[in-house]
Structure 1
Amino acid sequence: MNQEQMSSPVGGMNAVQQQLLADFAGAYLAEQRRQARWRWVWRVLWIGLILAMIWATIASVPEATAPVTPHTALVEVRGEISTEAEANADDLNSALKSAFEDKGAQAVVIRLNSPGGSPVQAGLINDEIRRLKALHKKKVYAVCEEMCASAAFYIAVAADQVYVDKASLVGSIGVLMDGFGFTGVMDKVGVERRLMTAGANKGMLDPFSPRNESQDAYAQAMLNQIHQQFIKVVREGRGKRLKESEDTFSGLFWNGEQAIALGLADHLGSLDSIARDVVKAEEIIDYTVKENIAERLAKRFGAGFGEAVGSGMVQAMRSSVSVR
């Protein structure tokens, strides 16, 4: 391009300006096309995620017509027993109700593998098992796998018979309240606790305040009461089979063979052996309420996440009661 061509105006712009404008327009159009492609990619991804969530929700809903062929109904209790965990009274009682109401279910097997948890949740489940047993006249068998301790055993004793593996850990009939105390650390770093309450015991068990003898005594009395409730449930559930000793309700746990000898369990067995040899219905139908993808995403990314990070950290440092 010579000097004359570069300086000759075309539509008010010289050739260099026209080229720059063309390059800019091309780049702009390319960027728009790229953004449009990504918008479509994200739309497809979101549609796919929504469809997957809808499918998972539908798949988690029990069929309107439950199987009527003879079978063994299964309800699983796994992990910590708590309102925030999968093993919670609402879901487990719903599963138990469905299992008992199914005319094809010859018996209900509760398979447990749990270290324990909330005495309230365990009590609600124990009460519902006994209610459904009386209402539907069906046998209930508890199968203890690796661990059936404390709140899990609280649930197991509602069954007609308790089966264990010879190496299962069974028992731990006791109550605990755990927490932390930071007063010594605060003294060392020079931090002053400024707690204001309306009510002399409102700050009870505050981890940043010194221990109080009267409040400790009150908490211990409450634990003793819950322990006696636990003992009563075990005695009612096991009846004359229970061979009590000074260690029975001390919080100790035993292996499966020892548990049978102590009357805490009845026989060695597994889910399959009970279905085959005891219930005489080898087909096993699982009635356990399963958490779907949508619920898992809601728990992971929902509003509760911020609460767990913020106030949940403080709550975790305060004392909590569990039967373990």
Structure 2
Amino acid sequence: MYPNQPPVTPPPPLYAYPPPPPEPRRRRSGAFWAMVIGGSLLAAITVLGLLTWIAVKAVDSDSSTTTALTSGKQIGVIEVSGVLLNAEQLETQLRKFGDDDDVKAIILHINSPGGGAAVSQELYNEVLRVRSEKHKKIVASIETVGASGAYYIASACDKIYANDASVVGSIGVIMEWTNYGDLLRWAKLKPVVLHAGDLKDAGDPTRDLTPREQEYFQGLINNMYGQFIHDVAHGRNVPDDRIKPLATGQVWTGQQAKGLGLIDQEGGFRVALVDTARSVGITGEPSIKRPPKKKVGLLTALNGTDTDDLSRTPDASLLRILSAVSASAAGAPLNADTLNQSPGFYFLWK
């Protein structure tokens, strides 16, 4: 190339092609967004579960830090709370504390309206067994409510404490179930029952009781009522005639209950703890030992309730029946187990 020579311009192309059109924006499929939303929900649930686990562990660590490790100077504390429909967990706790030589006495910290009749009797008998076989003092401390089946259990203890404004008593029996016959007829459902024995289907929830069935069930209730009175009298070490006038199903305040002989001393949990510790020779600040925390699911941890037990109460059964029959009327398949509700006998304050 020579100096000062102008630059050579390249010739135009023989064929001019238009620029390619822009690619259309890809639309995400419904499955893609379902995966995104599902993944987000799963991540949120995982984080929530982790936070709940941390909270539960924190409660565990808090309770463990309040439990001193001083050998042979501990008071076992068992929470008796909510509607009592299963005795297994409380029985296990009583048995373990009864076998634990480091536990010198046991306090049942009660806040319950009672529950199933047979469940209350099982726990009553277990309290008596631990007292007699393991020679351990067991004390009841009623917080807000210690009624019906919960009081039944408390009466087996060596001593009963209650706050002045606690609700105590409700000695009586209630039998309850839901008659949903009209609801079935509204949903155009017809029950078919075959049986042998006049009373085999007594309490059929699809119809009213016959006079004979009512007399039959009342006899069962009266028998359980007599057992309730006798067992409370035995636990309180008084004659049956002393308890029978109080067995009207009504409740009293802790202050009233003291004058009626249903409790031994007015006072809250702290009073019961210190008095019990002194009575078994523990000086200084009493050391508390609690059962290990029950492993619970996420829903239970968030609600603070045992949904499996609560779902078996009469009121919850009615809600399930209403939901099932309404869904059936709308064309959904009917779950027969939901409608299989047998009459229940309860030591329960309502």
Partner residue in 2 for 1:10: none
* Contact residue 52 and residue 298 of structure 2 kept, 8 A: no
* Contact residue 76 and residue 105 of structure 2 kept, 8 A: yes
1:150/1:300 Cα in 2 relative to 1: closer, same or farther (>3 Å)? closer
Partner residue in 1 for 2:346: 322
Q: Which has the larger radius of gyration?
A: 2
> Displacement, 1:225?
1.4
For 1:156-235, list aligned pairs within 5 A.
156-181=154-179, 193-200=190-197, 201-235=199-233
For 1:59-208, list aligned pairs within 5 A.
67-69=69-71, 70-83=73-86, 89-181=87-179, 193-200=190-197, 201-208=199-206
> Displacement, 1:177?
0.6
Q: Secondary structure at the match of 1:117?
A: strand
Q: Secondary structure at the match of 1:20?
A: coil
Partner residue in 2 for 1:9: none
Partner residue in 1 for 2:9: none
2:254 aligned residue (239, 253, 256): 256
Deviations 1:265-315 (A, max 9, x none): 1111222112223423433425245343437569779xx99x966556535
Query: Which residue identity lines up with residue 154 of structure 2 in the other structure?
Result: A
Partner residue in 2 for 1:5: 17
Deviations 1:60-90 (A, max 9, x none): 7999xx944312211111111112xxxxx11
> Displacement, 1:125?
0.9
The number of residue pairs the alignment matches comes to 295
1:295/1:134 Cα in 2 relative to 1: closer, same or farther (>3 Å)? farther
* Contact residue 76 and residue 288 of structure 1 kept, 8 A: no
Partner residue in 1 for 2:328: none
Query: Which residue identity lines up with residue 167 of structure 1 in the other structure?
Result: A
* Contact residue 92 and residue 125 of structure 1 kept, 8 A: yes
* Contact residue 229 and residue 240 of structure 2 kept, 8 A: no
Q: Secondary structure at the match of 2:246?
A: coil
Query: Which residue identity lines up with residue 314 of structure 1 in the other structure?
Result: L
1:122/1:277 Cα in 2 relative to 1: closer, same or farther (>3 Å)? same
Confirm or deny that 1:15 pairs with 2:39: no
* Contact residue 71 and residue 283 of structure 1 kept, 8 A: yes
Question: TM (normalized to structure 2)?
Answer: 0.68
Partner residue in 1 for 2:6: none
Q: Distance in 1 between matches of 2:272 and 2:36?
A: 60
Question: TM (normalized to structure 1)?
Answer: 0.73
> Displacement, 1:91?
0.9
Query: Which residue identity lines up with residue 263 of structure 1 in the other structure?
Result: G
Query: Which residue identity lines up with residue 347 of structure 2 in the other structure?
Result: V
Query: Which residue identity lines up with residue 207 of structure 1 in the other structure?
Result: P
* Contact residue 172 and residue 248 of structure 2 kept, 8 A: yes
Q: Distance in 1 between matches of 2:41 and 2:181?
A: 55
**Unmatched 5+ residue regions in structure 2?**
1-14, 325-334
Partner residue in 1 for 2:10: none
Query: Which residue identity lines up with residue 139 of structure 1 in the other structure?
Result: K
Deviations 1:16-57 (A, max 9, x none): 2xx327x65xx88xx99xx79996995796498489769969
- Percentage of matched positions with identical amino acids: 23
1:44/1:211 Cα in 2 relative to 1: closer, same or farther (>3 Å)? closer
Q: Distance in 2 between matches of 1:106 and 1:191?
A: 62
Query: Which residue identity lines up with residue 156 of structure 2 in the other structure?
Result: A
Q: Distance in 2 between matches of 1:51 and 1:185?
A: 43
> Displacement, 1:242?
7.7
* Contact residue 110 and residue 140 of structure 1 kept, 8 A: yes
Q: Secondary structure at the match of 1:240?
A: coil
1:75/1:212 Cα in 2 relative to 1: closer, same or farther (>3 Å)? same
Confirm or deny that 1:294 pairs with 2:291: no
Deviations 1:159-212 (A, max 9, x none): 00111122222111111112344567889x696854322224333212321321
Q: Secondary structure at the match of 2:17?
A: helix
> Displacement, 1:135?
2.3
Could you say what the CA RMSD is over the residues aligned between the two structures, in angstroms?
A: 4.3
Q: Distance in 1 between matches of 2:236 and 2:20?
A: 98
Query: Which residue identity lines up with residue 108 of structure 1 in the other structure?
Result: I
